[in-house]
């Protein structure tokens, strides 16, 4: 959809972009095609998070990716989606922070796409990772700063719980950056496209949630040494001695193997 088409559709339906839903509509057709080109074919199911006016939706339908479900929380946007794509996709009102991809799984893993609302992008990513045993991957358009945190590597300042949960279940690749001018209304920040590839793993939702809880404790005071972090969060200090990890280290300096060893020891009590 062009910028003119988006404005005309909003005017026709009497809708306005809502800040509380972070509604910034992508209107560059070349960019839309580029984004959807990263979506693989022949997956068990496809889900789009935050269909909005249907910019990405239209391209996914054009490619014939089925079965296809679009979810949104805005009643006005759902009306637009139904008017444009009824019979071509399942269109549902659903909270993306709570969606169970297991409900869509039959024999083959699915794929998720979404231009995520900035203010709830982290909870959506967490929930997607918790349900990743039913998914092959995800393609998310995010605020650039969130994308950088998502793709951060252990031992760097940007690494934390968000990158940690993704690394537990897969791999995140930063694909490209989009300027504010490609959206209407233009956001105050740049955006970025990230692709997550999920691996085969044996972690269930409960285990992954416990891991995230540990990571939040570990990185809650990233500038403090591990001894102080463990004391502040009432974690067993003896874990550091058993694993022969220096109490003077900081969380942001730990490599992945050390983080995994710490999480295992703490979670197993």
User: In this structure, what DSSP letter does residue 189 have?
Assistant: S
**Tokens 């209407």 belong to which residue?**
184
Confidence class of residue 263 from pLDDT cuts 50, 70 and 90?
A: very high
Tokens (6 digits) for 197:
């590839």
**pLDDT at 20 (0 to 100):** 79
Cα–Cα separations (whole angstroms), residue 183 to 7, 97, 141, 226: 12, 24, 12, 43
Q: Which helix (H) or strand (E) holds 238?
A: helix 238-242
- Strand 46-49 vs strand 110-115: parallel, antiparallel, or unpaired? parallel
Instruction: Give the residue-averaged pLDDT of 248-257.
Output: 95
The Cα–Cα gap between 196 and 175 comes to 10
Tokens (6 digits) for 217:
């404790």
Residue range 220-267, CATH number: 1.10.8.100
Instruction: Give the residue-averaged pLDDT of 91-99.
Output: 96
Tokens (6 digits) for 235:
């974690």
Among the listed residues 87, 41, 84, the one whose alpha carbon sits nearest the alpha carbon of residue 66: 41
CA quadruple 41, 174, 2, 96: dihedral sign: positive
Assign domain 3-203 to its CATH superfamily: Vaccinia Virus protein VP39 (3.40.50.150)
**Tokens 């959506």 belong to which residue?**
124
**pLDDT at 222 (0 to 100):** 84
pTM of the complete model: 0.93
Percent over 90 (pLDDT), the chain: 92
Among the listed residues 127, 212, 208, 101, the one whose alpha carbon sits nearest the alpha carbon of residue 162: 212
Instruction: Give the residue-averaged pLDDT of 85-99.
Output: 96
CB 6 within 8 A of CB 27: yes
**Is residue 175 classed as helix, strand or coil in its secondary structure?**
strand
**pLDDT at 259 (0 to 100):** 97
Cα–Cα separations (whole angstroms), residue 209 to 61, 127, 154, 165, 230: 34, 9, 19, 9, 19
The Cα–Cα gap between 108 and 246 comes to 45
Instruction: Write out the residue limits of the CATH 3.40.50.150 domain(s) in the chain.
Output: 3-203
Instruction: Write out the residue limits of the CATH 1.10.8.100 domain(s) in the chain.
Output: 220-267
Confidence class of residue 191 from pLDDT cuts 50, 70 and 90?
A: very high
Count the alpha carbons within 13 Å of 200 in the hemisphere toward its beta carbon. Answer: 1
Q: Where are the alpha helices (DSSP H) in 22-143?
A: 29-36, 55-62, 75-85, 121-130
Tens digit of pLDDT for each residue in 164-183? 999 999 999 999 999 999 99
């Amino acid at each position: 959809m062009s910028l003119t088409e988006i404005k005309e559709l909003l005017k026709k339906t009497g809708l306005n972009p809502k800040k509380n839903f972070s509604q910034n509509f992508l209107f560059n057709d070349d960019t839309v095609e580029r984004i959807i080109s990263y979506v693989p074919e022949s997956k068990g199911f496809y889900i789009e998070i935050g269909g909005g006016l249907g910019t990405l939706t239209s391209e996914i339908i054009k490619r014939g990716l089925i079965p296809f479900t679009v979810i949104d929380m805005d009643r006005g946007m759902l009306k637009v989606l139904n008017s444009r794509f009824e019979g071509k996709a399942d269109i549902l009102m659903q909270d993306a922070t709570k969606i169970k991809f297991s409900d869509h799984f039959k024999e083959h893993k699915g794929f998720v796409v979404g231009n995520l609302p900035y203010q709830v992008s982290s909870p959506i990513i967490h929930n997607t990772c918790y349900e990743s045993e039913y998914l092959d991957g995800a393609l998310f358009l995010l605020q650039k700063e969130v994308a950088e945190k998502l793709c951060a590597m252990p031992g760097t300042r940007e690494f934390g719980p968000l990158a940690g949960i993704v690394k537990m279940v897969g791999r995140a690749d930063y694909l490209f950056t989009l300027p504010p001018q490609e959206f209407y209304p233009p956001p105050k920040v740049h955006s970025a496209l990230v692709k997550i590839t999920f691996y085969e793993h044996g972690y269930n939702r409960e285990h992954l949630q416990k891991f995230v809880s540990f990571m939040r404790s570990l990185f809650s005071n990233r500038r403090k040494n591990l001894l102080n972090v463990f004391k502040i969060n009432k974690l067993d200090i003896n874990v550091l001695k058993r694993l022969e990890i220096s109490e003077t280290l900081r969380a942001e300096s730990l490599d992945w193997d050390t983080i995994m060893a710490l999480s295992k020891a703490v979670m197993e009590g």
